[in-house]
Amino acid sequence: MKGATVVIEKKVVQADFVETESQKEEFEVALSRLANQRGAQMPLLQETQRIYGYLPKELLERMAKALDVPLEELYSTATFYSQFSFVPKGEYTISICMGTACYVKGAGDILDDLSDILKIKSGETTEDKKFTLESCRCIGACGLAPVLKVNEEVYGRLNKKKSEKVLATYQKEA
């Protein structure tokens, strides 16, 4: 098992790369299908993110070799888009919108409250790997402000109490 070191907000995070046999097989199929196609970089990054939930350094190195591009080029592309992560995320990713409408209506307080409950800061994952908490720029549901997403499910017109109920629903599932 190799580890990848990533610097996030001036904090070093160590993530050990672990893959299942099915992930490895699915990645190899995607790699062989896309490696010789023009413009394969984004689709391959997206497929890798979908398969593993993040972009492990070990796979970026294999992708760079297969695509015949410098590793730095893949990192440059991946760091440009917020959809990509270099560290594993939890089973449930809670994204709290910090766009103007949401922020003005109390999204910062909701983020602080959920951070206290989960005992993690924005950008971190709980030790049990169930929850990742993050803030985002805009979900695009300003009329429902403040808004948060759990994975792809959007919840709006929140306050601290309502957001705690949303979290409790996922805690029961976990």
Using N-to-C axis directions, what is the helix angle for 41-52 and 21-34, rounded to 10°?
Answer: 170
Alpha helices by DSSP H, the chain: 21-34, 41-52, 57-67, 71-80, 100-104, 107-118, 160-173
Say if residue 136 carries a ligand binding annotation. no
Q: What is the widest separation between alpha-carbon atoms in the chain?
A: 51
Q: 130, 174 in Cβ contact below 8 A?
A: yes
Instruction: Tell me which long-range contacts 66-69 makes (C-beta under 8 A, separation of at least 24).
Output: 66/31, 66/35, 67/35, 67/40, 67/41, 69/41
Rounded CA gap, 16 and 29, in Å?
23
* Residues that constitute the known binding site: 97, 102, 138, 142
* Residues that constitute the known binding site for [2Fe-2S] cluster: 97, 102, 138, 142
